[in-house]
Amino acid sequence: MPDIESIIQQMTLEEKAALCTGEGPWTTTPIPRLGVPRLVVSDGPHGVRHPMDVNQIGSLSHPATCFPTASSLACTWDVDLLREMGEALAEECNALGVGVLLGPGNNMKRTPLCGRNFEYFSEDPYLGGELAASLIEGLQSGGVGASLKHFAFNNQEYQRFSISAEVDERARREIYLAGFEKAVKQGKPWTVMCAYNKLGGTYCSEHHWLLVDLLKEEWGFEGLVVSDWGAVHDRVASLQGGLDLEMPGPRPKRVQAVIQAVQDGVLDEAVLDEAVRRILKIVYKAAETPKGEPFDQEAHHAMARKIAAEGMVLLKNDGVLPLRKGLGRIAVIGRAAKSPHYQGGGSSHINPTMVAIPFDELQQQAGDAELLYAEGYPADDAFRQDLIDEAVRLAQDAQVALLYIALPAYKESEGYDRADLDLTAQQIALIKAVGDVQPNTVVILNNGSAVTMGEWINHVNAVLEAWMMGQAGGGAIADVLFGKVNPSGKLAETFPVKLPDTPAYLNYPGENGKVLYGEGLFIGYRYYEAKQIPVQFPFGYGGSYTTFAYSNATVSATSFRDTDGLTVSVDVTNTGAVAGKEVVQVYVHDHKSALVRPHKELKGFAKVELQPGETKTVTIPLDFRAFAYYHPGYGQWIAEDGEFDILIGASSADIRCTQTVTLQSTQVLPSLLNRESTIRDWMEDPRGKVVFGPMFQQIAAGMKQAMGGDMDGSEMIGIDMMTMLMDMTVLSILYFQEGALPAPPEQVVDGLLQQVAQLQ
């Protein structure tokens, strides 16, 4: 790599300003006289959407492998598989001359209504962070940069260019930023893409706390921050806020504004130099990898098929699956069987190298069975009873009915949110009608996020969630239906019974330009468990053609220090007749904490493959963060002394083994006591109790004597005086005793606080 500092010293102010804005829709600005090449970027994240004309933002893209979308990838719970996919994406980027792929997306699924949820991994930050990091590592191992997006709080498409997310500090840290943090620290992406929206009234493209204080300084991010396309409103303010590269270009007025701001002393040239420095490092890093070597399209198609099958989730199976050999007639119903719905709309739309048609793939594996096809539902939202009637006739004349049901693009896409969680009225009527006449009915779903099923699920025997399964998904569906692949996908998001049950229901989509994240920490399974709301299918759930038993759960220590962490082990046995894979999930429950915490949280997982009768020991490490939560008072992550349950299970609702451990905190934290602290605060603070304890005993004794020994006050006035006393501030209590004090109450409290400070 050239001497970056030397190049910066030789650059003119005009060249620096130009470098910080794109040359075109997909390229950075080169500086030929200094040998600075252009960097080519491309939309992703589940395929390379590289335009044939890089000067046109809507140009037809080169053929590339369309892998399954993130909602499917997440359900594999397989970090190694995502790393392999990243490596394959790097090969395709290099073949097409792309230096940075715009992805992965790692925003939390706050609401299943978000139209772009198909591009995001999960409702859980730990799972999302692990998967994003693995995909980044695989991609960058091939010399191609990742662009982790959309940073941050882009959890809805409604007013995404302007809405301000209003999020409390703990929810920010523990939910919406934690997945990004893991991906940044573990995956080390070359670039991070800012979101369109605002956070607390400030655009993410100008948010100094988000892009500088947190991302670059606290997390140690060394790459460049790029804007989402069109996210910059004020180029000078965005540079000051930590945004290095504005895309797309050209933007001559923006460039001139930067030049003028430096000349006028409004923008420190050192800030501009830092952006230039970060851009040059990535430009040269990308240039180190040779381009132009063709990729193996067949091999990548086969990989896409494998990944799609791994991500499919068997939601229901009353014994009809896998399909048995020797079937005479199979009714194949639904447009998606011949017109597959394998990817979402918007910037991630890929021009596939080939597409597996589900009907054709079924025919290849169905042997001598006759496949009968009915369209079932139209492409638009019209209700067609004739299509339902035709499907019913075919289903009655078959031994099995396979219903391929795809959520149409007009319901779910980048750019707008879903109005509901339902299938179309036609699709619901179709499923019910076919299920009522055919005892062996299987529904295969193609969608990007959760759908409700209450109206129709009891009418069918099996449901296979196939997601937006990529270009090879048609073959993957056939593999699962016929048992060539044993389904092992587990849900990365909860499927609710109905929309009003969802966590953000009362706070979505916002009003007056703001959306309040009023549910705080409680999104996804955290919310449903706290509210004890039944769900259709819980987080982490997924069926199989075999069964698994858990036994011999152990922990490395029953008492441990937070800095040492813990190792959890459990034996998993395949107790069925066919080989299969199981995802072992480890959740942590804190018995008692100073601040409210979810009932349990995912902190580890592993996917294991087992032959019939085989047993393997699965070992999962838990570090400090597995037990910690973010405390705004201290401004840091803390793990408190006390007991924790280690919950090992097959889903968030299916816990098979439990171990209880005791954590010993090594953190020395300052006291948070102040003039407004309650007696309870003082007595629960280790130092405060030492200092204030004797005075509290005197206060309590005096009140007890004044009330004739009846401290709870029940005989006199019917209230619990002790509880009331504990929630009063020390200052308030002292006001009632001011005449007996040696000094004003404020001075007495300040003296107590000084004693506490001396004990630290």
Active site residues: 228
Distance CA 95, CA 295 (A): 6
**Closest-CA residue to 118 (of 104, 134, 135, 129):** 104
Distance CA 42, CA 286 (A): 13
Distance CA 489, CA 72 (A): 9
Q: Is beta strand 462-465 parallel, antiparallel or unpaired with respect to 313-317?
A: antiparallel
Measured CA angle at 305 (ends 304, 311), to 5 deg: 90
HEC string of 717-731? CCCCHHHHHHCCEHH
Q: Is beta strand 100-102 parallel, antiparallel or unpaired with respect to 202-203?
A: unpaired
- Quote the tokens at residue 470: 């990529």
- What is the residue whose two structure tokens read 């892009």? 211
**Closest-CA residue to 214 (of 255, 183, 272, 173):** 173
Up-side HSE of residue 74: CA atoms within 13 Å toward CB?
35
Gap between the terminal Cα atoms of the chain: 49
Establish whether the linkage from the previous residue to 150 is cis, with ω within 30° of 0.
Answer: yes
Q: Is beta strand 145-151 parallel, antiparallel or unpaired with respect to 191-194?
A: parallel
> Which runs of E-coded beta strand occur in 254-383?
313-317, 329-333, 370-374
Exposed/middle/buried for residue 739 (C-beta within 10 Å: 0-12, 13-18, 19+): exposed
Q: What H or E segment, with its residue span, contains residue 474?
A: helix 473-481
